[in-house]
Structure 1
Amino acid sequence: MSATPNDIPHDYDMSGSLWMRLVDASSMSVFFFFEYLLARDVYLHLDAAPSGLATWLLPLALVLGYITADFVSGFVHFLADNIGSTRTPFFGPVFIRPFREHHIDPLAITRHDFLEVNGANCLISLPVLIGTWYFVPIHGTGSLFFAAYIGLFLFGIFLTNQFHSWAHHPNPPGWIRRIQRTGLILGPEHHARHHTPPFNTYYCITSGWLNPLLARTRLFERLKEPLRRVLEPIAGKADEVGGVQE
């Protein structure tokens, strides 16, 4: 079945509306406010921690947080591509529709502004971010590491859609291409694997580091049917759009 942009009902397209711009702007503002609070707490406790702790704690939290962000980006991408309806109230147009639309028009993400590209990730991160800051006070090395890890993991999630957008940009600035070539962030050649039929692999879009491993183990393919049975009654039946199968 060939797909066109009309395959997704525009009645449910909230992107670009005044309401969504307010949601994106407020979500991003609150996200950065609590990221600052969490980072401040980590800094203050790190400064008072035993000498040498920062030499391993922050780098380890950074690496593990970034890898976790890559995995979560892939898992969410997999779910949004394969499970749930674009008609599901709020969640469908805000989180599912952009992924389905992306397979119809991969360059659409490059035409969205900074708020529209990154606002939804800020919104979905807030419960974890606020919960960590409020309910997990820093009292020792373990809680200090956890706070740093969560803060860096969620900052990686924040950057994910921006990296994804740059991977589709036809002519990104030279400094972005140089970073992409290092493999530190998602690159266009790597991400092209996902946009090759049957569109069922290389879902991770932060750095893409985990894509080869997940492709070899077929983890997402193995999870698809069990998750579909559990989530479809809640999220609705997947629309067949742009190569995304029911």
Structure 2
Amino acid sequence: MWLFAVISANANQVHKWSHQTCKENGCIVTFLQKIRLLQTPYHHAVHHTNPKNVRYCPITNFVNPLLDRLNLWSGIEWILARVIGLHRQPDTSLPNNGTAPAWLLLLRVQVAKQHAK
């Protein structure tokens, strides 16, 4: 139980590890990912694919399938919308979904210019 409390308190760090390589994470974190106690990069990558509405729990591979099957996240969104009027914001990283921030548009122009050279 104490291990769960420590990991939960450091969820942002666990999330960061799911974006790093085995070498960056070191042998202990990599081992915990291999036994799936900590979320693996492969499992977490699904969260970053469109439409980005699953696998919100960044800690372990075990919890997300259950929470997704229960539609927990969409249920929470529904409650927030009904109770306090809070609605999901458009994800501007998805095509045709809201207006992209100015810095992103500038970055895309810079990248296009570099590729044109």
| TM class by smaller structure | 0.5 to 0.7
Q: Structure 1: how far apart are the matches of 2:91 and 2:51?
A: 13
RMSD, aligned CA = 2.6
- Cα separation, partners in 2 of 1:231 and 1:169, compared to 1, 3 Å: farther
Aligned-residue offset at 1:191: 0.5
Q: How does 1:72-221 map to 2 (within 5 A)?
A: 153=5, 155-170=6-21, 171-175=23-27, 176-221=29-74
- Cα separation, partners in 2 of 1:238 and 1:185, compared to 1, 3 Å: same
Q: Structure 1: how far apart are the matches of 2:78 and 2:7?
A: 29
Contact 2:17 2:25 in 1 (8 A): no
**Which one has the bigger helix percentage?**
1
Aligned-residue offset at 1:188: 0.3
Q: Structure 2: how far apart are the matches of 1:159 and 1:242?
A: 27
Question: 1:171-230, CA deviations, whole angstroms, 9 ceiling, x for partnerless residues?
Answer: 524412222111111110111111111110111011232101111121222332221233
Q: Structure 2: how far apart are the matches of 1:227 and 1:192?
A: 26
Gaps of 5+ in 1: 1-60, 67-152
TM-score, normalisation: structure 1 = 0.33
Higher relative contact order (CA 8 A, sep 6+): 1
- Cα separation, partners in 2 of 1:166 and 1:226, compared to 1, 3 Å: same
Larger Rg: 1
- What code does the residue aligned with 2:56 have? Y
TM-score, normalisation: structure 2 = 0.64
Aligned-residue offset at 1:237: 6.9
Which consecutive aligned stretches of 4+ in structure 1 deviate over 4 angstroms post-superposition?
none
Identity among equivalent positions (%) equals: 30
Q: Structure 2: how far apart are the matches of 1:157 and 1:222?
A: 22
